[in-house]
Amino acid sequence: MKTNFVQAISVLLLLSGLSACQSASNGKTTENDTAQSTAQSDIRKSGTFTNPLFPNGADPWLEYWDGNYYLTTTTWTSELVMRKAPTLAGLADATPVNVWSSTDPERCCNFWAFEFHRLKGPDGYRWYMMYTAGKDGTLDNQHLNVLESAGDDPMGPYQYKGALMPDVWNIDGNYLEHDGKLYVIYSQWQGDQQLNIIAEMENPWTLKKDQDHTIITRPELDWEISGRKVTEGAEILQHNGRTFMTYSASFCNTPDYKLGLLELVGDDPMKASAWKKFDEPVFERTEEVFGPGHNGFFTSPDGSEDWLVYHGNDSVEHGCSATRSLRAQKFEWNDDGTPDFGKPLTPGVVVPPPSGENGPLVTRVQGQRYHLVNATSELCLDISPDPQDNRAIQRQCSATNGQWVLDPTTDGFVRLANREDSKFLGVADCATADNARVQTAAWRNNFCQQWKLQSGTDGNITITNRYSEKPLAIAGCSAAANQAVLQQNSDSACTQWQLRPVGNVVILSQQSGKAVSVAQDNNNIEQQAFDYKDNQQWNVVPTDTGYVSLKTDAQGNLCVGADDNAVVPGANLSMVQCDAATAQWKIRPAEGGGVMLLNRYNNQVMGVSDCGLAEGTNIAQQPDMKTKCQVFHFRSPQ
C-alpha cells in the first residue's frame, strides 16, 4: 500500500489539475486537450472524498459500468434502492431510486445485501440482482431471491425470476463463474455455526437439481468466533487467472467483524479440498474503524486500479445496524499474487478518486434515449454527419440519429450522452460568450459538459450549460436543417426544446419501482410489478407546443387522462379518449434523471396514491408536491 505521504502528493496533483487531461489509455493528448486543459482544471471538481462516503451503507455492492458507478446497500425495508453517478464521490449525494419493491407476504420484507452481476442468461447478457428477503415480523424466513433486467441497464426495469431455496434460511448470495459453469455461494446456519456453502446453478435464478451443496468455510479459528461462530458474505475476486474469495468472519454485532480469505487451488469448486484457507484475517479493525466487513470489489474507470468497498463503524459500541457506513479504498497486490487490502482508512483522510474518472472517456451510457426537438424548428438536436466534424446541429429526427441519454451527474445537472458517437455534449473550450460552439467530445468531468434541464414555456424545457449558465439555441432561430446549435443568452427566442422518449417506454415509479400499467379488467391506471406486459409499455406521442399523450399499443385509440376531465386533486386516472381535455401531459425533468408528468388542462401531476408500494396501487392526479411518489423514470423494455 502507498504511504500517506505519497497519497497526499497525489491529492495535491489532482487539486492542481496537472493530471486532468492525461489520456487514460496511453498518456497522449487527444482532441481539445490543449485548448481545454486550463479551463477544465479550474472548474472540475477534484473528485476526492473521505470515508465514510455516507451513513447507513451496510452490505454495499458497487459496479462501474459504461461510464457510471452503480451502488446498492441494505435498506431493511421492502425496497431495493440503487444510486448511480459518474464519480465515486458523487454517489454520496446521488438520488436514490427504487428499482424494485415487493409486498408478497412470503418475501416482502427485511431486504438485505443486494448484489447485481452481469451474466449471460438465456436471452443474452442481463443484470441479475440477487438479494435476501423474508416475511414481515421475523428474520427466521430470510432467503435469496433473483431479479433479471430487461436489457443492459443496471437501473432496470427488473422482472422477478424466483427464489433459490425459499423453504430454508439462506442469505448473502454471490455468483462464481468458473470453467464455463455458474455457481452460487451463500451463507446458512447449521447448529451454532454460520457457514458459507457452494452449489452449482442451472441458470442465474435456478439451482441444478439433485446435487450436493458443499461447505467451504466453517468458523473454527479464534478470529472467526468473536461473539458468535460466523462466516458469511462471500465475495469472489479473480485476478491474473487466480480465484480468491473473501468472507466476513465473527458476529457483525461486535467490533471484531473482519475479512478472511480463501483461494481456489483445485479444479472443482464443489470440492472443499479445492479451497485453501488463509490462517490470518486480511482486513480488520483499527483504533478508528470497527467491524469492517461485507465487502465488494470494483475496478477504476480506466481499469488500472482495484478497489475495495465495505461497511464499517466509527465506534466500538456500534454493531450490525444502521450505524454501519459506506467506505471505499484502493488495494494492491503482493509479490506472491495475493491481494493486500491494507487497513481501513481513518475517517477524514482525503482519498484521491479512482484513476480515469476525469477521462477522456468515450462510452455508450446506459439509459432511456430521447430526441431533443427544438420548438421553433421542430428539428432534433444532433451532431454533424461528417465524421471529421463534432459540432452540434439540428437535423430531421429519425430512428437512427439525434438520440441522447440524460445521465445525472451532481446537484441536479445531467450530461447529454450521444448514442451515435458515444461522446458528450459540451461547450468548446469552456467558452462563456454568446454563440460559442457546442460539440460532442470525450467525457472529461468538467462543468462545460453538464446541463440543467428546466421547465420552459408550454410543454417545453430549456437546456442550460452548468459553467456558462447560458442555454442551447438554434443559430438565427433558423428552421433549416444542419443549422448550428449554439450557446446563446437567455433572451434568445429559440431556446425551447421538447423531450421525446425514443421507442416504447416503461414508466417506473421512483417510490415503488413498479410500472405504470393499465388494469387488466378495466381501463384504470395503477402500478404493477414489471413483467413485459403490453399494458406496461407506453408510446409517448407528441401533440403540440411540447405536450404529449400517453397510450399503449393494446389501446391505441385511448390515452391517459382524468376521469370526467376532473380538475380536483385525487381524481382517478384511466384510459380516456385521446381528444379529452385531460389527455395531454408535460414531461418536466426532475433531479436524478427522473421526470414529473404535469397535466396540461388542470396542472395536477401524476402520482402514486398514498405513496404505496403494493401491487395494484392506484395512480391518480395530485397537487404538485415534488415528492418521490410523483417522480417517474422512463426505461426501455428491452
Q: Does 403 reside within a domain?
A: yes
pLDDT value at residue 492: 87
Helices (H), 473-584: none
Rounded Cα–Cα distance for residues 5 and 612 (Å): 52
Pick from 54, 84, 81: which is nearest to 67 by CA?
84
**Residue at which a domain ends, from 501, 531, 550:** 501
Rounded Cα–Cα distance for residues 538 and 557 (Å): 13
Residues 359/36, Cβ–Cβ less than 8 Å: no
pLDDT tens-place string over residues 210-246: 889 999 999 999 999 999 999 999 999 999 999 999 9
Rounded Cα–Cα distance for residues 243 and 248 (Å): 17
Q: From the candidates 59, 306, 382, 407, which is the catalytic residue? A: 59
pLDDT value at residue 371: 97
Judge if 470 and 581 occupy the same domain.
Answer: no
Rounded Cα–Cα distance for residues 108 and 333 (Å): 41
Q: Does 86 reside within a domain?
A: yes
Decide if 610 is catalytic: no
Q: Does 138 reside within a domain?
A: yes
Residues 545/580, Cβ–Cβ less than 8 Å: no
Rounded Cα–Cα distance for residues 619 and 291 (Å): 44
Judge if 432 and 485 occupy the same domain.
Answer: yes
Judge if 476 and 519 occupy the same domain.
Answer: no
Residues 619/517, Cβ–Cβ less than 8 Å: no
**Residue at which a domain ends, from 459, 481, 501:** 501
Rounded Cα–Cα distance for residues 419 and 421 (Å): 6
pLDDT band at residue 529, thresholds of 50, 70 and 90? Answer: very high
The answer to whether residue 36 scores a pLDDT higher than 60 is no
Residues 74/113, Cβ–Cβ less than 8 Å: yes
Query: Distance from first CA to last CA of the chain, Å, rounded?
Result: 43
Residues 278/284, Cβ–Cβ less than 8 Å: no
- Assigned C-alpha cell, 587: 414531461
Task: Check residue 204 and give left, alpha or beta (phi > 0: left; psi -120 to 50: alpha).
Answer: alpha
Sign of CA dihedral 620, 100, 591, 594: negative
Q: From the candidates 63, 66, 224, 232, which is the catalytic residue? A: 232
Rounded Cα–Cα distance for residues 271 and 268 (Å): 6
Q: Does 377 reside within a domain?
A: yes
Q: Which amino acid is at 511?
A: Q
Q: What is the mean pLDDT of the chain?
A: 92
The CATH number of the domain where 253 resides is what?
A: 2.115.10.20
Rounded Cα–Cα distance for residues 233 and 552 (Å): 43
For β-strands 229-239 and 193-203, DSSP reports them as parallel
- Assigned C-alpha cell, 319: 454493531
Please state the separation of Cα 564 from the chain's center in Å.
39
Judge if 175 and 70 occupy the same domain.
Answer: yes
Half-sphere exposure of 188 (CA within 13 A, CB side): 20
**Residue at which a domain ends, from 456, 474, 501:** 501
Judge if 473 and 522 occupy the same domain.
Answer: no
CA distances from 630 to 317, 320, 538, 607 (A): 40, 33, 18, 4
Rounded Cα–Cα distance for residues 538 and 558 (Å): 12
pLDDT tens-place string over residues 156-207: 999 999 999 999 999 999 999 999 999 999 999 999 999 999 999 999 999 9
Residues 195/201, Cβ–Cβ less than 8 Å: no
Judge if 339 and 382 occupy the same domain.
Answer: no
- Assigned C-alpha cell, 583: 389527455
Rounded Cα–Cα distance for residues 144 and 149 (Å): 17
pLDDT value at residue 180: 96
Rounded Cα–Cα distance for residues 32 and 20 (Å): 12
The answer to whether residue 553 scores a pLDDT higher than 50 is yes
Judge if 397 and 301 occupy the same domain.
Answer: no
pLDDT tens-place string over residues 578-624: 999 999 999 999 999 999 999 999 999 999 999 999 999 999 999 99
Rounded Cα–Cα distance for residues 286 and 474 (Å): 59
CA distances from 573 to 310, 445, 562, 590, 614 (A): 44, 42, 5, 21, 17
Q: Does 127 reside within a domain?
A: yes
Judge if 185 and 306 occupy the same domain.
Answer: yes
CA distances from 494 to 77, 250, 428, 485, 569 (A): 47, 64, 20, 10, 34
The mean pLDDT value for 350-378 works out to 97
pLDDT value at residue 7: 37
- Give the three-state DSSP class for 230: strand
pLDDT value at residue 217: 98
Q: Specify the pTM.
A: 0.92
pLDDT value at residue 45: 57
Residue 419's domain comprises 369-501
pLDDT tens-place string over residues 78-103: 999 999 999 999 999 999 999 999 99
Residues 394/381, Cβ–Cβ less than 8 Å: yes
CA distances from 420 to 31, 62, 282, 376 (A): 18, 28, 45, 24
Judge if 244 and 133 occupy the same domain.
Answer: yes
The answer to whether residue 14 scores a pLDDT higher than 70 is no
Give per-residue burial for 557-573: e unless 16+ CB within 10 Å, then b. ebbbbbbeebeeeebbb
Number of domains in the chain: 3
pLDDT band at residue 35, thresholds of 50, 70 and 90? Answer: very low
The mean pLDDT value for 394-423 works out to 94
The mean pLDDT value for 429-449 works out to 97
Judge if 140 and 289 occupy the same domain.
Answer: yes
Convert 553-587 into a string of H (helix), E (strand) and C (coil): CCCCCEEEEEHHHCCCCCCEEEEEECCCCCCCEEE
Q: Does 144 reside within a domain?
A: yes
Q: Which amino acid is at 49?
A: F
Judge if 173 and 321 occupy the same domain.
Answer: yes
Rounded Cα–Cα distance for residues 630 and 609 (Å): 9
- Assigned C-alpha cell, 466: 452548468
pLDDT tens-place string over residues 283-336: 999 999 999 999 999 999 999 999 999 999 999 999 998 999 999 999 999 999
Q: Does 4 reside within a domain?
A: no
Decide if 59 is catalytic: yes
pLDDT tens-place string over residues 49-74: 999 999 999 999 999 999 999 999 99
| Farthest CA pair distance, the chain | 77
Q: Which amino acid is at 245?
A: M
Q: Does 32 reside within a domain?
A: no
* Dihedral, CA of residue 350, residue 355, residue 360 and residue 361, to nearest 10: -110
How many other β-carbons are positioned within 10 Å of the β-carbon of residue 270? Answer: 17
Judge if 483 and 512 occupy the same domain.
Answer: no
The mean pLDDT value for 561-578 works out to 96
The answer to whether residue 25 scores a pLDDT higher than 70 is no
Rounded Cα–Cα distance for residues 167 and 146 (Å): 15
Give per-residue burial for 223-254: e unless 16+ CB within 10 Å, then b. ebbbebbbbbbbbbbeeeeebbbbbbbbbbbb
DSSP conformation letters of 128-172? EEEEEEE-TT-STT-EEEEEEESSS-TT--EEEEEESSTTS--EE
pLDDT band at residue 29, thresholds of 50, 70 and 90? Answer: very low
- Assigned C-alpha cell, 432: 462563456
The CATH number of the domain where 454 resides is what?
A: 2.80.10.50
pLDDT tens-place string over residues 329-350: 999 999 999 999 999 999 999 9
pLDDT value at residue 398: 86
pLDDT band at residue 40, thresholds of 50, 70 and 90? Answer: very low
